[in-house]
């Protein structure tokens, strides 16, 4: 009898450990949050977005970051006292950029646009998390603009096989400068649940995956010329209870029916071995090494011919520096345990990364 009771209790614990979760409004960012996330180069990440379903185990432990950023959420009134009146007293958001040179176009604007924020709100009937405003300082003056139709990021509760959709509209008109209009359609489906492992969540945690199919038309008017830019993107987010940022967040561009990953981030802690977004150089690239994997732990890193002087650093997946070299492209981790390591190569303003496996 005791043995049967033990087996029953054990099976209950196992069931609870890998059970379907539900995400609610309480799992969204709140005022005062400082949510650190790491950034992964999409090229060579090896993520297969087709793998999903019920009780699925995702293992992304081999991802390695090249930079980090922090989303700090503030009340609209704390950003600018006028924003609480012009947007909403409950709206809160984070800075998405320090400055904007031309709304994504190559022609520079004749005005200075700084302190760019996106603001969110939690609404009810039904419960939902929405992007409801954009704000910036334009030539020294605060300029908040509300969405005409909110972009509903999530409708709660989120659980497996739930679907929802919405149309959104944003219209920003700067007199004597130009106009940008974004109108789109978002369809969400919770297409998987199970556990996820990342460099931050080193043991599997319960999660759900939400897939967002977004069709958007961006219309830019400038100096009497209007340009329409259609965009089709997909967003994949693995959400964990109690975490206010996705365990993993992948964005892709859909071109001719093919998805091309353009951004990958994951919830993370501070890693002193990588750069902040503010310090990251634009010339970051993905390098190659061979043989990879290597049985004996000796690798040759392919260094671009223009990199005449460089340093190489080897880190384990916890961020610990294992070894370093100067102007030597053969690396050696023979004395290190079998596993995955990250090689960083720095040459002036250029930074390259390659993942190696022993």
At 169, the pLDDT band (50, 70, 90 cuts) reads very high
Q: In whole angstroms, what is the distance from residue 277 CA to residue 99 CA?
A: 14
Is pLDDT of 309 > 70? yes
pLDDT at 349: 76
pLDDT in tens, 243-287: 999 999 999 988 778 888 889 999 999 887 665 555 554 456 778
Closest by CA position to 118, among listed 158, 170, 81: 170
pLDDT at 317: 67
Q: Which residues, other chains included, contact 308 with Cβ-Cβ below 8 Å and sequence gap of 6+?
A: 347
The average confidence (pLDDT) of the chain is: 84
Average pLDDT, integer, range 86-106: 73
Q: In whole angstroms, what is the distance from residue 95 CA to residue 343 CA?
A: 32
Pairing mode, if any, of strands 92-100 and 113-123? antiparallel
Is pLDDT of 4 > 70? no
At 1, the pLDDT band (50, 70, 90 cuts) reads very low
Question: Which stretch of 111-125, 187-201, 233-247 has the lowest confidence by average pLDDT?
Answer: 111-125
**What number of residues does the chain have?**
358
Is pLDDT of 205 > 80? yes
Cis peptide bond upstream of 151, omega within 30: no
Show the domains of the chain with their CATH numbers. Answer: 20-275 (no CATH), 281-357 (2.60.40.1930)
pLDDT at 183: 93
pLDDT at 7: 34
What pTM does this model have? 0.77
Is pLDDT of 219 > 60? yes
Q: What is the DSSP string of 178-201?
A: EEEEEEEEEEEEEEEEEEEE-SSS
Q: In whole angstroms, what is the distance from residue 289 CA to residue 281 CA?
A: 22
């Amino acid at each position: 009898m005791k043995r049967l009771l033990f087996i029953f209790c054990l099976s209950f614990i196992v069931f609870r450990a890998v059970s379907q979760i539900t995400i609610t409004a309480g799992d969204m960012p709140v005022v005062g949050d400082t949510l650190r996330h790491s950034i992964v180069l999409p090229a060579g990440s090896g993520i297969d977005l087709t793998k999903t379903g019920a009780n699925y185990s995702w293992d992304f432990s081999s991802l390695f970051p090249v930079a980090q950023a922090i989303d700090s959420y503030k009340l609209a009134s704390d950003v600018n006292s006028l924003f609480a009146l012009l947007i909403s007293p409950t709206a809160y958001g984070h800075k998405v950029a320090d400055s904007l040179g031309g709304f994504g176009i190559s022609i520079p604007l004749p005005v200075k646009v700084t302190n760019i924020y996106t603001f969110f709100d939690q609404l009810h009937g039904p419960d939902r998390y929405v992007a409801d405003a954009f704000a910036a300082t334009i030539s020294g003056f605060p300029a908040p603009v509300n969405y005409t139709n909110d972009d509903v990021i999530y409708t709660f509760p989120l659980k497996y096989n739930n679907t929802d959709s919405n149309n959104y509209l944003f219209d920003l008109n700067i007199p004597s400068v130009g106009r940008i209009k974004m109108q789109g359609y978002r369809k969400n489906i919770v297409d998987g649940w199970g556990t996820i492992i990342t460099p931050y969540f080193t043991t599997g945690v319960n999660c759900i995956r939400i897939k967002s199919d977004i069709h958007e038309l961006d219309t830019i008017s400038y100096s009497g010329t209007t340009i329409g830019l259609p965009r089709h993107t997909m967003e994949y987010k693995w959400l964990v209870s109690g975490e206010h940022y996705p365990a993993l967040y992948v964005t892709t561009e859909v071109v001719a029916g093919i998805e091309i990953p353009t951004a990958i981030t994951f919830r993370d802690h501070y890693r002193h071995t990588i750069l902040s977004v503010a310090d990251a150089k634009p010339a970051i690239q993905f390098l190659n090494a061979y043989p990879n994997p290597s049985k004996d732990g000796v690798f040759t890193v392919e260094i671009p011919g223009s990199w005449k002087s460089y340093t190489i650093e080897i880190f384990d997946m916890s961020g610990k520096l294992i070894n370093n070299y100067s102007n030597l492209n053969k690396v050696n981790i023979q004395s290190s345990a079998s596993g995955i390591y990250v090689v960083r190569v720095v040459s002036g303003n250029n930074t390259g990364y390659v993942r190696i496996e022993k």
